[in-house]
Amino acid sequence: MQNIYGYTINDLEKYFESFGEKKFKATQVFEWLYKKRVTSFDEMSNIKKENQEKLKADFSINQLNIIDKKSDIDVNKYLFELSDGEKIEAVLMRHDYGNSLCVSSQVGCNMGCSFCESGRLKKVRNLETYEMVLQILMVKKDLNIRISHIVLMGIGEPLDNYDNVVKFIDIINSPKGIDIGSRHITVSTCGLVPKIREFINLGKQVNLAISLHAPNNELRNKLMNINKAYPIEEVIKVVKEYIDVTNRRVTFEYIMLKDVNDQVNHALELAKLLKGINCYVNLIPYNETSHIEFKKTGQEQIMKFYDILKKNGIGVTIRREFGSKVKAACGQLRAEHKEVA
């Protein structure tokens, strides 16, 4: 039985039309699910009884199970249990511009980035579309807040779960659904070049973020296995294609690792690499974990790196630190629970 939260409004229109009903019934169902937030088909009072019964026979409306939750200043981290017993995470971050939720797209990750906790526990499976949608709905319900921004930057590589992620974006972007604007949705990728190219051709106005983390192939090969398949030159080429087609600015994510990628020569090399590209660099203070040997770059060195990029005409921000006390780095809470189990 399919979970109804995995169906786009177009999917539901075709469903209703398949047994002779008007397609506007799909809009009614969407509004019950996403505006009124009912969790039973019986509560959909403007849907006739026989259609309620058919919906119950054809779809589940099951939710995720919150099995752990940790809070710190401006951050809430959730550990969800899925129907098969697997576990995923989502992190809610409060910014001055709104509430942003970092969503997982896979159970585990096969990309093998050496600094990443979620990649330490290998990919078990892709998340279904409904399992991504429900991360948003469960957090909204638990905190009774509006979530204004979505970032696909949790456990997993989103473009390695391409079809389900595209459906997820359709559902959360729909005005009849969760109604999160395209420009408030960010897809982060470590650099799956063919999938980025496919994503460009969809014509969606969502934001693209590239996990770069190194200014050259030699260093990036050591940090990120994906670079051996799609080296920096190919990533930069497809980013330029994305900008040409969408006229959107791209974010390059850069985790600051002490004495690894945070030196003056790295900053100068990065500035040279990105010169002339409509982008900005987001410098990310590293969230240390007991399982991985990398250490966090000190604030003084981060500022030195920042200043070099600025002086060389590269837009740059430093990500505000969230939740070091609540294991907010990707995969930390899931890994902790696996070890206890």
Hey, which residues are catalytic here? 89, 330
Long-range pairs, 88-91, Cβ under 8 A, ≥24: 88/127, 88/131, 88/135, 88/154, 88/155, 88/334, 89/154, 89/155, 89/330, 89/331, 89/333, 89/334, 90/135, 90/136, 90/138, 90/139, 90/154, 91/154, 91/322, 91/323, 91/328
Structure tokens at 285: 């203070």
Find out whether 304 and 262 touch, Cβ atoms under 8 Å: no
Residue recorded with tokens 């919906």: 55
* Interatomic CA distance for residues 41 and 94, integer angstroms: 33
Structure tokens at 125: 């499976």
Structure tokens at 273: 């690499």
Amino acid (one-letter) located at 70: K
* Interatomic CA distance for residues 205 and 115, integer angstroms: 30
